[in-house]
Amino acid sequence: MMHLQLRHELDLETNLEPSVIAASDGSIHALNRVASRVLDCSGMAPSLFDICRSRADSLRAFLVACSGSRLPLIEQVRFDGPGGAADYRCVGHALVPRRRSRPATLLLRLHPARDARFSAAAERMKRLAAERQRRLAMQQCEELRSDRLRLVEQYCYVAEALRIVEARTHELRDKVNHIRADERERIARDLHDHVGHEMALALAELRTMQHDAEGPAKARLGAIVAHIGGIGRKIHHAVTSGRPHLVEELGFVRAIEAMAASFAADGRIDLCFRTKGLEPELLPAAVECALYRVAQEALTNIVKHALGARKIDITLDFARESLALTMADDGAGIRLEAVGAERHGDAGIGLRGMRRRMEEIGGTLEVGPRLDKGTIVTAVAPLVCAPQRSLPS
C-alpha cells in the first residue's frame, strides 16, 4: 500500500480531509496521512469493507455508482478508527473509468458527519438539484402545453374538413333528389301524353269492333276491353302517384290536409289536423314529396288495417332545422311482432317504402303502438334553414 500514487496525477497530501484512492470493488490503493490517522489501516486492511461498520450493501452500491460518474456523489459511511467507529460523509467520483479486465479507480474524501462546511455544501447541492428538477418540470410542462395546442389545432382542422364534407354531401343529396323528382315527372308526363293517348285510341277501336261483333267474339272483345281498361287505370294511378300534384296546386300543408279530408269524407273517421311552428317560405321538393307519400301510405294503412278506428290525429311540427309529421289513430293498434318484423326487414312493401323514402332525404321513421290505444307514425325530415312565414289559419 502506498501513501501516494503519482500515476493518478493527484497529490493526496494536498487534501486536508482524509482521502483514499480505492477500486470499485472496495480494495484500497492509496491514502494520505490524514486518512492513515483517522482510519484503522495500521494492520493489513486490503478493503474498505474490512473497516466499514455501516451497511455493506449501501457502501457497495455507492462504490458502483461512483465508478460511472465523474461528478461527486455523497454517501454516509461508518469506518473504524483508532478511537473507535466514526460517521463520515463520503464524497467520491471516478478517476479512471472501469475497464474490461479491471474495476474503476475512485477518489474518496471523508468529511466528519457534523462538519458545517460539508453540510452547507450538501445543502447547496440539494438546492441545485431541486432547481434542476424545477427547470426540467417547467420544460416538460411547456412541451405538454405545446403538444396540447398542436392537438387542438389539428382537431379544429379535422372538424372544419368534416363540416365541409358534410355540407357537400347534403348538397349532392339535394341535387340527386331533384334530379330523381324531375325524372319521375318526365316519365309520368310521357306516360300520360303518349301511352295514355295510344291506349284511348286502342280502346275506342276495340269498342267499335265489339259493337259490330256477334256471338262469342263479342264477349271475347268485351273481356279484352275490360282488361285494357284495367291496365289504363293502373297506368293512370302510376302517373298520379309518381308526383304529388296537390302539393304544387295547394301547397304542402293544404295538400296534406286535403288528402286526409278525402280519406275521412265518408264520415266514419273524425279528422283532427294541427300545425305547430312557422312554415318556411320554401320547403325542399324532396322533403315535400317524401312526407306526402308517407302520409298517403299511413292513411291507407289506417283505413285498411286499423280496425275500429274512429279518429285520426295529424300534426305537422315545423322546427328550425326539421319537420315532423305525426299521425295517430285509435284503432286496434299495431302488433308487437309486426314492429319486430319491420325492424328486421320482414315487413310489407308499404312500411319498407315509407322507411326508404325517409332514408333518401336523411330523415327517420318510427312506427309503433300508441300509449293508450292505436298506432302512431312519426316521420322527421331535416330542413335547410330558410325565411319563415306564418301558417295560414
Which residue would you say has higher pLDDT here, 117 or 254?
254
Q: Judge whether 349 and 340 are in contact, CB under 8 Å.
A: no
pLDDT score at 387: 42
pLDDT score at 365: 93
Fold of 6-113: Beta-Lactamase (3.30.450)
Q: What is the pLDDT of residues 125-149, one digit of tens each?
A: 778 878 888 898 999 999 999 999 9
Mean pLDDT on 358-369? 90
Which residue would you say has higher pLDDT here, 373 or 387?
373
CATH class of 246-389: alpha beta
Q: Judge whether 328 and 370 are in contact, CB under 8 Å.
A: yes
Mean pLDDT on 46-69? 87
Which residue would you say has higher pLDDT here, 181 or 9?
181
Question: Is 177 a residue whose pLDDT tops 60?
Answer: yes
pLDDT score at 221: 83
Domain ranges in the chain?
6-113, 137-240, 246-389
